[in-house]
Amino acid sequence: MIHKSVLLDEVIDNLAIKENGIYIDGTLGRAGHAKAILSHLKNGHLYGFDKDQQAINESQIILSDISSNFTLINSDFKDMSTVMNKMGINQVDGILLDLGVSSPQFDDPSRGFSYRYDAYLDMRMDQNQALSAYEVVNTYQPKKLLEILYEYGEEKFAKNIVRKIVNSRAIKEIKTTFELVEIIKDSLPAKELNKKGHPAKKTFQALRIEVNQELESLKQGLVSAIDLLARDGRLCVISFHSLEDRIVKNMFKDLIEVDKLDKRIPILPKDIKTSEFELISKKPIVASKIECLENNRAHSAKLRVLHRL
């Protein structure tokens, strides 16, 4: 089965790609979106960022079949303005951030992202970093674990789960995904276990966000992207859960809003402040029914697009 990146057609349409422009895919993954962007470039150039070296290696092969007009960088997208500036590039025509974990990361049991496979508790996107899910589960103080599950997982049974984790790790270390899954299941009431969806989903999401500092990276990455965006440039961001989408929505909102004027005070048109940004769509763009049927991950995807005027 050929994997198609989420909201691929919508991303390409909304980037409004100029064939001689400069573009950034800040979350390269396995180059699904990057491949489509590159195929629309004539003399333009694509820069791809990913902190997962394996993703860089695989994307190099995939993109080489399209053209040579690309450069791949093993770095977190939050640092892209600094990296691009060092290369002498201060403005780009479009940027894509796809905030979902790539399917190969989930599907590779050795990475420890998924509750579907028994593996070491890892969850590191950057495998050179020290912090993994194992350290979080086995060494974090109960209060900190509780905060993570409540804030990043929106898990209403966080207290039960943390209590069970702390009691279990006092007996022996929690080393694998399946060991953690069993602890989570033992923490939940039967009514909750019978609901649709995996009982460990929220806890695993929370741990992954903590291990990779995803929300902080997103905040810094949005600032970095906006700093690089040229006039008439577009920033496309795909989020997969409410925490990410809220950050994107609020930052875009702050950029397009200007101070309201007191209508009683006369002012010349030339003195009226206007924003240098606009939203391409006031509501987030979501996947079609057909795409949702073909790709389950598309159900929760939301695309927001910012245009610099």
Domain segments of the chain: what residues? Answer: 8-98+216-308, 105-212
CA–CA separation, 154 vs 162, rounded Å? 14
List the pLDDT tens digit at each of the 309 positions of the chain.
Answer: 355 799 999 999 999 999 999 999 999 999 999 999 999 999 999 999 999 899 999 999 999 999 999 999 999 999 999 999 999 999 999 999 999 877 667 778 889 999 999 999 999 998 899 999 999 999 999 999 999 999 999 999 999 999 999 999 999 999 999 999 999 999 999 999 999 999 999 999 999 999 999 999 999 999 999 999 999 999 999 999 999 999 999 999 999 987 555 556 666 565 556 789 999 999 999 999 999 999 988 999 999 999 999
Decide whether 8-98+216-308 matches 105-212 in CATH topology.
no
In this prediction the pTM is 0.89
- pLDDT value for 290: 96
- pLDDT value for 258: 73
- pLDDT value for 104: 67
CA–CA separation, 108 vs 117, rounded Å? 9
Helix, strand, coil fractions of the chain, as percent rounded to 5: 50, 15, 35
- pLDDT value for 260: 58
- pLDDT value for 106: 73
- pLDDT value for 1: 39
For domain 105-212, which CATH number applies: 3.40.50.1950, 3.40.50.300, 1.10.150.170, 3.10.180.10? 1.10.150.170
What is the helix (H) or strand (E) element at residue 229, kind and residue range? strand 229-239
- pLDDT value for 265: 65
Alpha-helix residue ranges (DSSP H) falling in the chain: 8-15, 32-39, 53-64, 80-86, 103-107, 133-139, 142-153, 158-171, 177-187, 190-193, 201-212, 214-228, 242-256, 289-294
Give the pairing type, strands 45-49 and 22-25.
Answer: parallel
Q: Which residues contact 47 (CB under 8 A, 6 or more apart)?
A: 22, 23, 24, 25, 70, 71, 72, 73, 80, 84, 89, 92
CA–CA separation, 153 vs 232, rounded Å? 37
Query: What is the identity of the amino acid at 218?
Result: L
Q: Thinking of the domain 8-98+216-308, which architecture would CATH place it in? A: 3-Layer(aba) Sandwich (3.40)
CA–CA separation, 186 vs 22, rounded Å? 51
